Amino acid sequence: MKSKAIKIAVLVLVLLLSCVGGYSWYDRGRPAPVPMKQELHEGVIYQRIVRLLPRPMIAHQVSVDTKSSGISFLVTPPDSSNDKPLKARTTSQFLDEFNLQLAVNGDGFFPWWSHSAADYYPHVGDLITPLGFTASNGNIYWNGENPGDIGIEPTLYISRRNALSFNNRPDKVYSAISGDRMLVEKGEVVPDLDDEELDPRTALGINRNGRYLYILVVDGRQPLYSQGSTFQELAMLLQQQGAYFAMGLDGGGSSTLVIESPAGSAQVMNSPIDSYIPGRERPVGNHLGIYINR
């Protein structure tokens, strides 16, 4: 009997260690599900939002005071002048290549597919086309003339002096990045947004006078960690953070928020998931980057 009890105890211990080890492997490298708030740089505040009900959800929000000294923006510049003007990069690669201090994935793009971890497009360096109107440092390189399922994409315009505006094209366009739908308009959540489908999400918003830019990334598709948000929940999060206007960017496996680490390399702040692999970054089309103190 004593020998049998020892065997059972050993079996239970092995099972417990396997569960702990399996969860540790699954949870490796992801931000701790703990609310936090910190100043990354003067005028740039990062906040991790954690919710347990009605389901696990972790969101990462950055507010940027555009009036702070040394702040400037960069939309991914074109790599060519043909009908596929961009080479696919991960958000980390974009930050490293252009020596940025913060970066987030941008607009949707085509062609794109993801059948498995081995069968997908684009790979890093493959040519793609952004879906919406895009400009970088005075160069309009895509007009976004192909409306998607919800019509012409909304666009955030950024002037040389950091003036921000939605869907009000200036006479002289400096930088512009588009999204897939408006989420908040004049401080109100846009009616009839989807309130069922849960996915990772990325969004941009501005406050009423356009001084503050809000970047929001929600992790998703990761049971017991973060299941994602609906578009309606995403809009409500932005509204609660102070957004007067806001739009969704490319989500799903594209959703990635990156900062420059103290060592000068890219540090991923959220838990991206591509091909259902937590921590794997997807090569995407364009991005929005921020220089600080340059």
Candidate from 113-117, 232-236, 269-273 with smallest mean pLDDT? 113-117
Grouping H, G, I as helix, E, B as strand and the rest as coil, residue 26 is helix
What pLDDT band is residue 129 in, cutting at 50, 70 and 90? Answer: very high
Q: What distances in angstroms separate CA 150 from CA 153, 182, 256, one per listed residue?
A: 8, 10, 24
For 25-44, what is the mean pLDDT?
85
Same domain, residue pair 12 and 65: no
Same-domain check for residues 119 and 202: yes
Examine the domain organization and report whether 65 and 99 are in the same domain: yes
Residue 213 shares a structural domain with residue 112? yes
Is residue 73 exposed (0-12), middle (13-18) or buried (19+ Cβ within 10 Å)? buried
pLDDT tops 50 at residue 14: no
Cα gap 61→270, rounded to integer Å: 10
Say whether pLDDT at 23 is over 60: no
126 and 12 assigned to the same domain:
no
Question: Do both 161 and 141 map to the same domain?
Answer: yes
For residue 11, the model assigns a pLDDT of 54
Largest CA distance in the chain: 87
One domain for residues 205 and 118: yes
Q: Which residues pair with 291 in a beta bridge?
A: 72
Do 246 and 204 touch, CB atoms closer than 8 A?
Answer: yes
For residues 82 and 215, membership in a common domain is answered with yes
Over the stretch 179-224, which tens digit does the pLDDT of each residue have? 999 999 999 999 999 999 999 999 999 999 999 999 999 999 999 9
pLDDT on residue 152: 66
223, 55 in Cβ contact below 8 A? no
pLDDT tier, 29 (very low <50, low <70, confident <90, very high otherwise): confident
Give residue 18's domain range. Answer: 1-30
Query: Do residues 24 and 57 both lie within one domain?
Result: no
Do residue 188 and residue 263 come from a single domain? yes
Co-location of 72 and 126 in the same domain = yes
User: Domain check: are 11 and 102 in the same one?
Assistant: no
Q: How many domains does the chain have?
A: 2
pLDDT digits (tens, 9 = 90+) for 57-81: 999 999 999 999 999 999 999 999 9
CA dihedral 179, 182, 185, 191 (to 10 degrees): -170
Sorting pLDDT into bands at 50, 70 and 90, what band is 3? low
Residue 142, pLDDT above cutoff 60: yes
Given a cut of 90, is residue 49 above it in pLDDT? yes
141, pLDDT greater than 80:
yes
Q: Strand order in 287-291's β-sheet?
A: 72-75, 287-291, 102-105, 257-260, 266-268
The token pair at 117 is 């971890």
